[in-house]
């Protein structure tokens, strides 16, 4: 556009702001007059572009009149006009943000654009769909931590829901192109953050959204990861369902090199997708449920999934360890390495794999790229902080590694220097602490001013954590205080009060340190560590504070030594008095009062009195108050008892927490996937005599809403079972093998293997569509294996031992193990939820399968009917009503004695007595067995007696050696016979 280009040139050539404003005002008048006349499409687009440029130049208040023209462009049937219209709306409509709250702005924006968006979303033209979806993703995207939420009761809720429904259909459509699915995934993420209740009311959406991670188009998978992360955060129970598919996808890319050619970056297959998926898995390990328990642990992963992930990590480390040509290729391999290392510790990787990762990362520390050095240090910190054993410190070539790390303390980039300091803090152990602390103390005077506070804290924490020699500890800490003298450009000490306060706390609580510290501190005041005969050093405020306290409290313990006399102690402190801050002077005044009380006959007492008189006139209120009070005490002859009350010895600290950890800096906790923070676990800090506080925060990654509310705390709806589920459930009650479920697409057969209280359920999933349509089953996922028993003391425990293949043509196998721990109620049977794709359709099956106490029944031998009757009577006498239960059963078909015998035998009873089929008498069958649980076993006796003449009405009577167990068995028997749910 020639006119637009000329306008931009004129603006850039303006000599001053006045000329620029004059040119812009002239153009605005021209544009307004043109909009009021008939102009063609080209001119309209040109003038709207000029308005956008004016807005971006800082003249936002002058272009509001352009919104009307932007809406007209959006209504155009021309793609170029519609595209510019949406662009102009995205830019110009944001001008209202500064005058409205976020919620009001969103409601206003929705009212203005809703009808246009719906029209374009419903268009049959995918390019038009894309423009509308892009607008939603860009303009309704708020931070996840925002408190703005749409509720069902809101007036605007139906409009939001209409947009969400349409965008969701784009995301999950099997016929739409990948380009719109990618944009729709981002748009849906933006909308769900505003209206998260939609996920609660649409549970069936979750499996389809999670399946996007395994989409055949890698671009769709990448675009969907934020959406998947949001969904899993709201429904953490689905984490275990999605992990196998992600691990297989990673395995195919990294190990099998199954990657479309267009997603190769040099020689690296899909590095962006690999890194994103590894980050997603790492995020899963940080998720916690409502009880703050980890949602995922290594024990929750099946063997195949775990092996896949370990192989991916090992191969990524191996790839990065090889010589790599070309900077782009090296960068892609390194990015995969960094994320693989972050995940390695969660997978309990072998020592060889960890050492390989350390060696590969150490090689990157010599890179010329600052970012590479920084990220390598970051990965090493994560690896060593999360690992149970410090492989880096135990490395055979540890001296060489320490040399490399210490060298990085002098890196030209301060972020690298800070990271190397974090790494040294993390890897220091009981064998290396002395060397590390000595090097850090030597480094302190040369350290950057902004790093000194953090460096001082780390030295103090390490010294306290590993010190075994009290003299070494005190000497080291006093040296730290001595060499850190001086203030920064803001007049603030390099070292905060936490360091010297912690030293004082330890000295007070350890009597053997009091005398040692007094000696050391007097000698240090006479000749500081870093002083020379010719070089004066800055006075350390913190050292004087410690000296004021220690000599005032414990200085009398060393006065018997002439070189540490009381007079010397006083003059050392008095000489420093006018060189220190007002806060330190106040402390010294208190110390001088203690000297006055303890040494009333010394020559320096008049000097103390003079100082009190001088400071009575101080401009500082605290100094003036103390001086006046102390002078009053000193000039009046009060009793020694009063002085003892005023100057009580410092009591032992009962609360032993260390506040050093509050200022440990960037290594205070591991934050998971956020690389902007240093990722180090602060271990427990302890010394010989005291134990410091923990500085651990295992939170991830995404913050909760700032108001503390949880949009997902409302209980979700119960799982809706699939049609015809009960026929397979009832068949499994009767038989230990058969068909569990069947429809046009899929058939599931089962086999139950019993071994005491342990049950193994082997399922075979058969592709029925392979025979009719020749299609494969793809994306098969065990979405959930929901146990309906109590979480804290479960009556049974489920374990998914074998996962089915996600893609197959004929059949796939899966295996579930069950351990019965206690008496299982009849309503506690679990639900198996699986999802799969077949012929473009997405399918979900929710099937309940019986986990019941009766399934553990085994037969027991009784010596005839007499023994049966005797045991029947014994249970009645011992347990009374608690040991017996009976149920009336009405059958749809006639049963004879042989039918009942076969049923009891199939269930596991040993049949003790049965009437003959040839007689017309009442049917009576008796059986006995043993019920197995992990806690105990129960003997069970059963009688089935007909109550009519045709064999359709029976009474089931059960007696059991466990109180209340008979009722559970009787109800199960009734359901088996009647087949009613």
Mean pLDDT value of segment 717-739? 91
Q: What is the pLDDT of residues 431-453, one digit of tens each?
A: 889 999 999 999 998 888 888 88
pLDDT of residue 247: 94
Contact 605, 599 (CB under 8 A): yes
Contact 902, 878 (CB under 8 A): no
Same domain for 452 and 575? yes
Same domain for 13 and 119? no
> What is the residue range of 585's domain?
428-646
Residue, of 138 and 717, whose pLDDT is higher: 138
Same domain for 844 and 917? no
With tokens 């893609």, the residue in question is 807
Same domain for 748 and 612? no
Q: How remote is the C-alpha of 770 from its chain's centroid?
A: 42
Coil, strand or helix at 658: coil
Residue, of 417 and 266, whose pLDDT is higher: 417
Mean pLDDT value of segment 36-54? 87
Task: Note whether residue 392 is domain-resident.
Answer: no
pLDDT value at 856 more than 50: yes
Task: Note whether residue 242 is domain-resident.
Answer: no
- CATH label of the domain that carries residue 843: 2.60.40.1230
The angle formed by the CA atoms of residues 414, 417 and 423, to the nearest 5 degrees, is: 145
pLDDT of residue 386: 76
pLDDT value at 981 more than 60: no
Q: Which of the given ranges, 277-281, 290-294, 353-357, 391-395, has the highest pLDDT on average?
A: 277-281
According to DSSP, the β-strands at 268-269 and 737-742 are: unpaired
pLDDT value at 353 more than 90: no
> Where does a domain end: 837, 852, 867?
852
- CATH label of the domain that carries residue 576: 1.25.10.10
Q: What is the pLDDT of residues 957-979, one digit of tens each?
A: 999 999 999 999 999 999 999 87
pLDDT value at 590 more than 60: yes
Same domain for 835 and 879? no
Q: What is the pLDDT of residues 301-340, one digit of tens each?
A: 888 999 999 999 989 888 887 777 777 888 888 889 889 9
- Global pTM value: 0.76
Mean pLDDT of the chain: 85
Binding-site residues: 34, 42, 46-50
Q: What is the pLDDT of residues 747-799, one digit of tens each?
A: 999 999 999 999 999 999 999 988 888 889 998 999 888 889 888 889 999 99
Residue, of 491 and 570, whose pLDDT is higher: 570
Same domain for 837 and 945? no
Same domain for 777 and 890? no
Q: In terms of DSSP H, where are the helices of 122-156? A: 126-139
Residue, of 278 and 144, whose pLDDT is higher: 278
Same domain for 840 and 946? no
The angle formed by the CA atoms of residues 700, 200 and 287, to the nearest 5 degrees, is: 15
* Helix axis angle, 414-427 to 398-408, nearest 10°: 150
pLDDT value at 20 more than 80: yes
Task: Note whether residue 354 is domain-resident.
Answer: no
Mean pLDDT value of segment 131-138? 95
- CATH label of the domain that carries residue 973: 3.30.310.10
Same domain for 56 and 131? no
Same domain for 22 and 109? no
Q: How confident is the model at residue 662 (pLDDT cuts 50, 70, 90)?
A: low
Mean pLDDT value of segment 36-51? 87
Percent of the chain past pLDDT 70, that is, above it, reads: 89
Task: Note whether residue 251 is domain-resident.
Answer: no
Task: Note whether residue 368 is domain-resident.
Answer: no
Same domain for 880 and 833? no
Mean pLDDT value of segment 343-366? 84
Exposed, middle or buried, 240 (CB in 10 Å: 0-12/13-18/19+)? buried
Contact 137, 183 (CB under 8 A): yes
> Where does a domain end: 589, 611, 646?
646
pLDDT of residue 528: 65
Q: How many domains does the chain have?
A: 5
Task: Note whether residue 389 is domain-resident.
Answer: no
pLDDT value at 139 more than 80: yes
pLDDT of residue 478: 87
Same domain for 437 and 548? yes
The angle formed by the CA atoms of residues 525, 531 and 534, to the nearest 5 degrees, is: 125
pLDDT value at 678 more than 50: no
Q: What is the pLDDT of residues 83-101, one digit of tens each?
A: 999 999 998 887 666 667 8
Identify any residues that bridge with 764 across adjacent strands, giving them in sequence order: 749, 813
Residues found in the chain:
981
Task: Note whether residue 263 is domain-resident.
Answer: no
Q: What is the pLDDT of residues 103-132, one digit of tens each?
A: 888 888 999 999 999 999 999 999 999 999
Q: How many CB atoms lie within 10 A of CB 349?
A: 23
Task: Note whether residue 318 is domain-resident.
Answer: no
CA distances from 246 to 74, 204, 211, 620, 809 (A): 40, 20, 10, 67, 21
Mean pLDDT value of segment 147-155? 87
Alpha carbons 743 and 834: distance in angstroms, whole number: 14
> Where does a domain end: 168, 198, 228?
198
Q: What is the pLDDT of residues 507-522, one digit of tens each?
A: 888 888 888 889 888 9
């Amino acid at each position: 556009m020639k006119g637009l280009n000329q306008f931009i040139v004129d603006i850039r050539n303006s000599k001053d702001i006045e000329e620029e404003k004059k040119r812009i005002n002239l153009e605005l008048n021209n544009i307004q007059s043109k909009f009021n006349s008939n102009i063609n499409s080209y001119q309209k687009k040109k003038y709207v572009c000029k308005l956008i440029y004016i807005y971006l130049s800082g003249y936002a208040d002058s272009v509001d009149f352009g919104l009307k023209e932007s809406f007209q462009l959006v209504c155009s049937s021309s793609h170029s006009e519609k595209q510019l219209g949406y662009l102009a709306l995205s830019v110009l409509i944001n001008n209202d943000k500064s005058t409205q709250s976020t919620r009001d702005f969103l409601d206003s924006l929705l009212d203005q654009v809703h009808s246009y968006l719906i029209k374009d979303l419903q268009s049959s033209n995918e390019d038009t769909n894309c423009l509308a979806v892009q607008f939603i993703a860009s303009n309704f995207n708020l931070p996840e931590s925002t408190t703005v939420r749409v509720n069902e009761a809101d007036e605007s809720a139906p409009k939001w829901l209409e947009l969400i429904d349409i965008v969701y259909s784009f995301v999950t459509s099997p016929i739409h192109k990948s380009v719109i699915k990618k944009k729709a995934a981002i748009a849906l993420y933006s909308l769900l953050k505003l209206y998260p209740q939609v996920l609660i009311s649409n549970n069936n959406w979750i499996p389809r959204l999670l399946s996007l991670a395994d989409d055949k188009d890698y671009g769709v998978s990448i675009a969907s990861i934020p959406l998947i992360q949001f969904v899993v955060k709201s429904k953490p129970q689905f984490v275990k369902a999605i992990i196998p598919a992600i691990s297989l996808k990673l395995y195919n890319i990294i190990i099998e090199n199954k990657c479309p050619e267009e997603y190769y970056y040099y020689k690296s297959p899909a590095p962006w997708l690999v890194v994103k998926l590894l980050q997603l898995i790492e995020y899963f390990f940080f998720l916690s449920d409502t009880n703050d328990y980890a949602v995922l642990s290594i024990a929750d992963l099946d063997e195949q999934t775990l092996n896949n992930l370990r192989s991916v990590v090992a191969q990524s480390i191996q790839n990065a360890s090889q010589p790599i040509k070309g900077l782009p290729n090296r960068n892609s391999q390194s990015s995969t390495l960094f994320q693989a290392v972050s995940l390695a510790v969660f997978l309990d990787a072998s020592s060889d794999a960890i050492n390989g990762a350390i060696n590969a990362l150490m090689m990157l520390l010599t890179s010329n790229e600052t970012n590479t050095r920084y990220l390598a240090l970051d990965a090493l910190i994560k690896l060593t902080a999360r690992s149970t054993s410090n492989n880096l410190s135990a490395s055979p070539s540890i001296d060489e590694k320490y040399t490399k790390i210490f060298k990085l303390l002098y890196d030209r980039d301060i972020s690298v220097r800070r990271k190397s300091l974090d790494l040294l803090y993390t890897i220091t152990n009981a064998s290396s602490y002395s060397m590390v602390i000595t090097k850090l103390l030597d480094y302190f005077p040369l350290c950057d001013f902004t790093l000194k506070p953090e460096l001082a804290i780390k030295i103090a924490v390490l010294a306290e954590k590993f010190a075994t020699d009290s003299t070494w500890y005190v000497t080291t800490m006093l040296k730290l205080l001595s060499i850190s003298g001086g203030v920064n450009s803001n007049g603030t000490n390099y070292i905060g009060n936490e360091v010297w306060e912690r030293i004082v706390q330890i000295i007070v609580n350890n009597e053997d340190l009091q005398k040692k510290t007094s000696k050391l501190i007097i000698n240090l005041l006479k000749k500081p560590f870093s002083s020379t005969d010719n070089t004066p050093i800055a006075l350390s405020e913190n050292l004087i504070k410690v000296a004021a306290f220690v000599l005032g409290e414990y200085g009398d313990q060393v006065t018997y030594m002439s070189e540490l006399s009381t007079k010397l102690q006083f003059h050392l402190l008095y000489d420093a008095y006018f060189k220190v801050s007002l806060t330190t002077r106040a402390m010294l005044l208190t110390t001088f009062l203690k000297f006055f009380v303890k040494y009333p006959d010394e020559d320096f007492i008049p000097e103390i009195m003079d100082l009190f008189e001088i400071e009575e006139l101080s401009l500082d209120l605290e100094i003036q108050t103390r001086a006046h009070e102390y002078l009053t005490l000193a000039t009046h002859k009060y009793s020694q008892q009063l002085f003892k009350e005023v100057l009580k010895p410092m009591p032992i600290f009962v609360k032993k927490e260390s506040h050093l950890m509050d200022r440990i800096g960037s290594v205070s906790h591991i934050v998971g996937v956020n690389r902007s923070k240093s990722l180090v676990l602060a271990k427990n800090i302890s010394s010989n005599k005291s134990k410091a506080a923990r500085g651990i925060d295992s939170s991830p990654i995404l913050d909760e809403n700032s108001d503390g509310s949880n949009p997902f705390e409302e209980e979700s709806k119960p799982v809706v079972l699939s049609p015809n589920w009960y026929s397979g459930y009832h068949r499994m009650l009767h038989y230990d093998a058969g068909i569990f479920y069947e429809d046009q697409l899929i058939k599931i057969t089962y086999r139950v293997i019993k071994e005491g209280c342990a049950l193994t359920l082997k399922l075979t999933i058969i592709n029925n569509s392979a025979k009719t349509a020749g299609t494969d089953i793809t994306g098969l996922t065990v979405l959930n294996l929901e146990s309906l028993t109590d979480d804290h003391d479960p009556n049974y425990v489920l374990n998914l031992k074998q996962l089915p293949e996600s893609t197959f043509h004929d059949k796939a196998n899966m295996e579930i193990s069950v351990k019965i721990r206690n008496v299982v109620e009849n309503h506690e049977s679990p639900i198996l939820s699986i999802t799969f794709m077949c012929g473009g359709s997405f399918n979900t099956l929710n099937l309940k399968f019986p986990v019941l106490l009766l399934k553990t029944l085994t037969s027991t031998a009784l010596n005839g009917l007499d023994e049966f009757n005797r045991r029947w009577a014994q249970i009645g006498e011992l347990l009374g009503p608690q040991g017996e239960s009976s149920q009336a059963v009405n059958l749809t078909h006639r049963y004879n004695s042989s039918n009942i015998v076969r049923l009891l035998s199939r269930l596991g009873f040993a049949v003790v007595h049965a009437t003959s089929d040839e007689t017309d008498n009442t049917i009576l069958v008796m059986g006995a067995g043993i019920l197995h649980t992990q806690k105990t076993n129960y003997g069970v006796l059963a009688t089935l007696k007909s109550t009519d003449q045709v064999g359709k009405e029976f009474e089931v009577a059960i007696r059991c050696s466990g109180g209340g167990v008979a009722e559970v068995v009787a109800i199960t028997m009734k359901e088996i016979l009647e087949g009613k749910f």
